[in-house]
Amino acid sequence: MKSIVTYFSASGVTRGVAERLAKAAGADLFEIVPEKPYTAADLKWTNPLARCNREKIGKKDVPIAGKIEDLAAYDLVFIGFPIWYYGAPNVIQTFLKENDLAGKKIALFATSGGSDMGKTAEKLAPYLSPEAEIIGGKLFAPTASEEELKQWVATL
């Protein structure tokens, strides 16, 4: 089974987990990069006018730079992100709209400041092909080891 770890990371925490997961799963790696990178000011959720809050409130799509080469080749697609507002950041919605994952298995992973996965998967479902199957979803600590990630992959 060929797999790819896709991820968005605004400040690098999810990137570390994604890189170790790709090793643990023997998977390719694809970073979901917004066309316009997030600055520290963009992420300041305590400011009501910050980009993150405007995107959230406006349910805005976040244009993505670059595409997965040969998406058709993959059977299992990992999708990783930081938890934002108890769910996935809007850029993940955009990613799902742009990439038809019909027929693929999906495993979600995330990092957060304390929230768990909550209803993250349910909230993403409307943007996902009905023929894609979410087979797992797990929150990891920033320090999650390759061994811990390997154990999770074995349960999928």
Ligand X SMILES: Cc1cc2nc3c(=O)[nH]c(=O)nc-3n(C[C@H](O)[C@H](O)[C@H](O)COP(=O)(O)O)c2cc1C
Per CB under 6 A, does 143 bind ligand X?
no
Q: CA 153, CA 156: separation in Å to the nearest integer? A: 5
Distance of CA 139 to the CA centre of its chain: 11
Per CB under 6 A, does 19 bind ligand X?
no
Per CB under 6 A, does 10 bind ligand X?
yes
Helices (H) and strands (E) in the chain, counts: 5, 7
In this chain, which of 13, 21, 88, 91 binds ligand X, going by CB under 6 A? 13
Q: Angle at the Cα of 63 (from 22 to 21), degrees rounded to 5? A: 10
Per CB under 6 A, does 82 bind ligand X?
yes
Q: How far is the CB of 89 from ligand X (least distance, A)?
A: 7
In this chain, which of 27, 52, 117, 153 binds ligand X, going by CB under 6 A? 52
User: In terms of Cα–Cα distance, which of 99, 150, 90 is closest to 128?
Assistant: 99
Residues in 94-113 that interact with ligand X by CB under 6 A:
111-113
| The two structure tokens encoding residue 118 | 């909550």
Per CB under 6 A, does 70 bind ligand X?
no
Q: Tokens 């244009």 — which residue?
A: 63
Give contact residues for ligand X (rule: CB under 6 A). Answer: 9-15, 43, 45, 52, 82-86, 111-115
